[in-house]
């Protein structure tokens, strides 16, 4: 995998050097970084953008530039705050990996189900649930203090996951409406089969939604919202990169735990109880991890937030600022007027659609290779651990890429990664007979090779996303004026992110409804993926030129 990463970097370098857009071996934004004082705004924002992990996108872009105080920080007091925060993030992401792997196992291997239902889940269940939770969360914040909201929301999640393993799953045959689902399958067109599968396995669908929301709610909203309230800009520069490394360590540990639990089948006498036992062990770890998060939060509330040497009592009041909120219509209007923001918008949508297309197609092959839930879960555990290891390495390499090759090369690595691995994956999927002699010599089958190529594609793509794509996206906002920065961010939040996540799902729904199955739609999905990535690469090249120009303008203002 690493050799493929370096090949991709080399290809991108050749692509960039051929059109004369290479930044003389380094990022224009850092051309004079050694000539300025450490308290300059651009230095602060650049380090913040390239250091934090993907879950903190909004916070990174909204850091307010302030002069760094010329005092020696109290290391003991700082660690008193940072270590509990790091531990909280570790357990939250430990849980998230377990939940993410488990939700896929449940819905993909469920009776009369498969990877085909994932696009429908994301569009018709996830999206309405996210909107409903946003309304509920706003109401809770208006009525209760932030710490009560934190504990209340976390308790709700943990209660459901604990109940699912001990009450809901053991009684799934009573709860699932199989008879009415069978009847609906006989009278409705085949287009409705994925929706019928969601109805048939509604408890699994509910688990899928809440597991998905753990990432957006507990990680992004609760944790990063709290961390940004109690952490200074200087502390963020120093410790957020370490949080990123810790996040991927959690990924490795949780992946191995999933693999270990899935291997416990030998201790169960009845085959019908194997996955049920695994589920109890997995959810027990989630509840225990959540309990430790609440214990750490209690420590923070009692020992850290009350200590003026750890948290400035006036900091919260000083940090409050008004965010630019835009309606959908206002966001679309702003996007149509700004080429720079529009290109950035295409980058965000391109990633969301591309990763959605390749993940769903890959998971359909994964089910064919591992139809048993425990085998599927074991593979996903190894997959999560491998993702953590590769992402750790790529995060360490990310700053070298920015320094040696510049923003333009870094922005192209993610789409080139998806394109090259996508060609290999879809070729194996569409032409298995052609590759049969080759796979026979390797001692495997075209299906298994497609599964492993798809796994490599997802691992490399997510590693590139966290280490390069997210920093590139946030850095692109830095040279903008205040209005473009705030309105551009709001426009992409309102339009870009939802469209990227649901656009690929909607296209898959149309194709599945037209051709009857995901496998029959695969050739067309491959063509759509190629088209989206080509548009993504074109937008990245265009944005690179504009980014360089705006950096030069900003340099002239900073250093006349």
C-alpha 358/C-alpha 420 separation (Å) is 12
Q: Are 356 and 518 in contact (CB under 8 A)?
A: no
CA count, 13 A, side-chain hemisphere, 489:
21
**For the whole model, what pTM was predicted?**
0.65
Q: What is the mean pLDDT of the chain?
A: 76
What's the pLDDT score for residue 333?
66
C-alpha 43/C-alpha 57 separation (Å) is 18
DSSP string across 146-208: HHHHHHHHHHHHHHHHHHIIIIIGGGHHHHS-HHHHHHHHHHS-GGGHHHHHHHHTHHHHHHH
Q: At the top level of CATH, which class does the domain 88-321 belong to?
A: mainly alpha
What's the pLDDT score for residue 21?
36
DSSP string across 482-546: HHHHHHHHHHIIIIIHHHHHHHHHHHHHHHHHHHSSHHHHHHHHHHHHHHHHHHHHHHHHHHHHH
Q: What is the pLDDT of residues 168-206, one digit of tens each?
A: 999 999 999 999 999 998 998 887 888 999 999 999 999
What's the pLDDT score for residue 36?
38
Q: Are 255 and 383 in contact (CB under 8 A)?
A: yes
Alpha-carbon 264 to chain mean position: 30
**How distant, in Å, are the alpha carbons of 137, 158, 432, 444, 520 from that of 377?**
32, 21, 25, 21, 26
User: Which burial class, exposed, middle or buried, applies to 100 when counting CB atoms under 10 A from its CB (0-12, 13-18, 19+)?
Assistant: buried
Helix (H, G, I), strand (E, B) or coil at 257: helix
Q: Is the dihedral of CA 108, 113, 116, 120 positive or negative?
A: negative
Of residues 508 and 484, the one with the higher pLDDT is 508
C-alpha 293/C-alpha 88 separation (Å) is 5
Q: Are 533 and 422 in contact (CB under 8 A)?
A: yes
Q: Is the dihedral of CA 42, 46, 52, 57 positive or negative?
A: positive
Among 106-110, 333-337, 401-405, name the one with the lowest average pLDDT.
333-337
**Domain spanning 1-65+329-560: which superfamily?**
MFS general substrate transporter like domains (1.20.1250.20)
Q: What is the pLDDT of residues 213-222, one digit of tens each?
A: 898 788 877 8
What's the pLDDT score for residue 137?
79
C-alpha 67/C-alpha 54 separation (Å) is 26
Contacts of 335 (CB under 8 A, 6+ apart): 341, 342, 345, 491, 495
| Mean local confidence (pLDDT), 328-343 | 71
C-alpha 467/C-alpha 389 separation (Å) is 12
Q: What is the pLDDT of residues 451-498, one digit of tens each?
A: 899 899 889 988 888 778 877 886 787 777 766 766 676 667 656 766
Domain ranges of the chain: 1-65+329-560, 88-321
CB atoms closer than 10 angstroms to residue 314 = 9
Contacts of 320 (CB under 8 A, 6+ apart): none
Q: Are 91 and 261 in contact (CB under 8 A)?
A: no
Q: Are 108 and 115 in contact (CB under 8 A)?
A: yes
C-alpha 334/C-alpha 487 separation (Å) is 8
Residue of 178, 161, 132 whose CA lies nearest to 285: 161
Q: What is the pLDDT of residues 250-305, one digit of tens each?
A: 888 888 888 888 777 666 655 556 788 889 999 999 999 999 999 999 998 887 77
């Amino acid at each position: 995998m690493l050799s493929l990463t370096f090949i991709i970097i080399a290809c991108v370098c050749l692509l960039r050097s051929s059109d004369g857009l290479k930044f003389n071996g380094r990022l224009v934004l850092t051309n004079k970084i050694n000539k300025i004082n450490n308290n300059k705004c651009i230095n602060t924002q650049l380090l913040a953008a390239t250091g934090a992990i993907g879950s903190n996108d909004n916070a990174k872009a909204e850091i307010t530039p302030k002069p760094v105080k010329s005092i020696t920080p109290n290391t003991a007091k700082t660690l008193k705050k940072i270590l509990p925060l790091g531990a909280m993030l570790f357990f939250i992401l430990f849980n998230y990996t377990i939940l993410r792997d488990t939700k896929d196992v449940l819905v993909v291997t469920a009776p009369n189900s498969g990877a085909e239902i994932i696009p429908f889940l994301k569009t018709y269940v996830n999206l309405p649930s996210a909107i409903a939770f946003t309304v509920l969360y706003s109401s809770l914040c208006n009525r209760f203090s932030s710490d009560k909201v934190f504990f209340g929301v976390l308790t709700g999640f943990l209660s459901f996951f604990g109940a699912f393993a001990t009450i809901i799953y053991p009684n799934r045959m009573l709860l699932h409406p199989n008879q009415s689902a069978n009847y609906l399958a006989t009278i409705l067109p085949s287009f409705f089969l994925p929706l019928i599968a969601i109805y048939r396995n509604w408890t699994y669908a509910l688990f899928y939604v809440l597991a998905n929301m753990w990432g957006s709610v507990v990680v992004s909203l609760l944790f990063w919202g709290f961390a940004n309230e109690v952490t200074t800009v200087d502390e963020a520069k120093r410790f957020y990169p370490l949080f990123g490394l810790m996040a991927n360590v959690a990924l490795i540990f949780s992946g191995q735990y999933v693999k270990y639990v899935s291997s416990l089948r030998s201790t169960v006498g009845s085959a019908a109880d194997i996955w049920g036992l695994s589920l109890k062990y997995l959810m027990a770890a989630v509840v225990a991890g959540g309990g430790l998060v609440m214990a750490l939060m209690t420590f923070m509330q009692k020992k850290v937030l009350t200590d003026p040497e750890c948290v400035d009592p006036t900091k919260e009041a000083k940090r409050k600022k008004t965010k630019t909120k835009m309606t959908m219509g206002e966001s679309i209007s702003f996007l149509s007027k700004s080429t720079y923001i529009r290109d950035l918008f295409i980058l965000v949508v391109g990633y969301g659609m591309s990763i959605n297309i390749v993940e769903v197609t890959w998971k359909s092959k994964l089910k064919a290779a591992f139809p048993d839930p425990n085998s599927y879960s074991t593979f996903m555990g190894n997959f999560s651990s491998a993702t953590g290891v590769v992402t750790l390495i790529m995060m360490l390499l990310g700053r070298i890429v920015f320094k040696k090759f510049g923003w333009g090369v870094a922005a192209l690595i993610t789409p080139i990664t998806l394109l090259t691995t996508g060609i290999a994956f879809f070729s194996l999927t569409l032409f298995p007979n052609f590759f049969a002699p080759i796979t026979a010599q390797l001692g495997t089958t075209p299906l298994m090779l497609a599964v492993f190529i798809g796994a490599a594609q997802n691992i490399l793509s997510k590693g590139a996303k966290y280490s390069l794509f997210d920093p590139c996206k946030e850095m692109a906002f830095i040279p903008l004026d205040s209005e473009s920065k705030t309105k551009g961010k709001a426009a992409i939040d309102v339009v870009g992110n939802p469209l990227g996540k649901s656009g690929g799902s909607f296209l898959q729904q149309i194709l599945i409804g037209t051709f009857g199955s995901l496998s029959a739609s695969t050739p067309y999905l491959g063509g759509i993926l190629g088209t989206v990535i080509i548009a993504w690469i074109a937008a990245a090249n265009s944005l690179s030129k504009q980014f360089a120009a705006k950096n030069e303008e900003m340099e002239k203002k900073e250093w006349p």
